[in-house]
Amino acid sequence: MEKYKIFGSEMSPYSVKVRAYFRFKQIPHEWILRSKENRIEFDKLAQIPLIPLVVCPSGEVLQDSTPIIESLEQVFPLPSIVSDDPKLNFLSVLLEEFGDEWVNKIMFHYRWWSEVDQASAARILAMSLEPNSRESLREQENEVKSRMVGRRAFVGSSPDTAPLIGDYRNSLIAALETHLADRLYLLGGRPSLGDFGIASEIYELSSDPTGSGFLRSRAPKTLAWAYRMLEPRTDGPYESWEELMPTLTPILSEVGQLFLPWSSANREALDKNEANFSVELKGKVYTQQPQKYHAKSLQVLINKFSQFKDDLILNRVLEETSCLRWLT
């Protein structure tokens, strides 16, 4: 089989997510660090200037991590990332979206908030962009740092939200640590879509000084899971609904109390053409600029849930975790 090509970066959670999927499926591929040296080739292929970018043996180009995985699932259904229980599969989709769109905020905030993290990330990114140049490294570092720090407000990272994001991190990691205490992956003995979405963000958090220290001291099980997801494999079956729910529901509560109300408020702000919006999350006001992509992805999630609207067992759990009202 001819190899696929993945243009990505070790510092991109979405690139790491797609690479982990390729590794789990054992799809032959070439991992290409996007750099200035291959910019011309990348620009010719890319419809949008974002990584990851996958080039199929047929020449077809795929972008955006979730559509990439959805497309490849049609070609490589095995080993499966799908449970026999449709309810669990929907929760896996929900958790993947949560990772991509909400946990990313936590990672991005900590990567670009303090000077020590900014310096570390900017240097690594600069070295990957110009791997054979040392003369302009400092200039490249400053350029990367300025650009990424300037994006903090766009993802909701500000002096006002910083303590809130800290609370969001603490509660999520505590829930993950409990859930992963006695299992290898979110749904049991093998990875699901949700693992790919969340673990890549945790891995990126662990690669920065502040995030690494926090995870090593507070969440060794979660950290081990994030690293396990770099080379995921089948180590056993998925667990049953009854086995998973006692410790999975606190994670779903993070989705229902934070991510989904934020997503709904974001979409409403876009409909009203507002420059900023505020939403009450866990009793405290969170403010940021609206983001177009998130409104689109929320609607996709709502559409996927529509086939489960009469599933009483799933609906009960979603209601108990404050998710249901945002999906109907």
pLDDT at 300: 93
Strands (E), the chain: 4-8, 29-33, 53-55, 61-63, 277-281, 284-288
Residue 15 burial (10 A CB sphere; 0-12, 13-18, 19+) = buried
Ordered structural domains, the chain, with CATH: 4-73 (3.40.30.10), 86-111+155-327 (no CATH), 115-151 (no CATH)
Compute the distance between CA of residue 92 and CA of residue 66 in angstroms, rounded to an integer: 12
* Confidence band for 38, pLDDT divided at 50, 70 and 90: very high
Q: Give the model confidence (pLDDT) of 194-236 as tens digits.
A: 999 999 999 999 999 999 999 999 999 999 999 999 999 999 9
Question: What is the model's pTM?
Answer: 0.96
pLDDT at 277: 95
- Residue 250 has which token pair? 């606190």
* Confidence band for 137, pLDDT divided at 50, 70 and 90: confident
